Amino acid sequence: MQQRYECENCGHQVTIEASAPVPDCCGQPMKALPLEACREAGPEAARPTKPEEPCEDFRGNHQ
């Protein structure tokens, strides 16, 4: 399983193995984004809910 990280300073994103340490960018730890896991767990075909339901909603809870 992979994890996506985003730098809150410059917006740079990387996707690495979830078991890897949190990468640094601009001298600070990058912010983890749960988007990839969300997609893998729920393909659109298996979800009767509206497709525009944003995975971004989990961001606040994740931190």
Assign residue 11 a region: left if phi > 0, alpha if psi is -120 to 50, beta otherwise? left
Interface contacts to Zn ion, rule CB under 5 A: 7, 9-10, 12, 25-26
Question: Which tokens hold the place of 24?
Answer: 């640094």
Name which of 6 and 36 has its Cβ closer to Zn ion.
6
CB of 5 to Zn ion, least distance (A): 10
CB of 49 to Zn ion, least distance (A): 34
- Nearest Cα neighbor of 33 from 53, 4, 9, 12 is 4
CB of 39 to Zn ion, least distance (A): 24
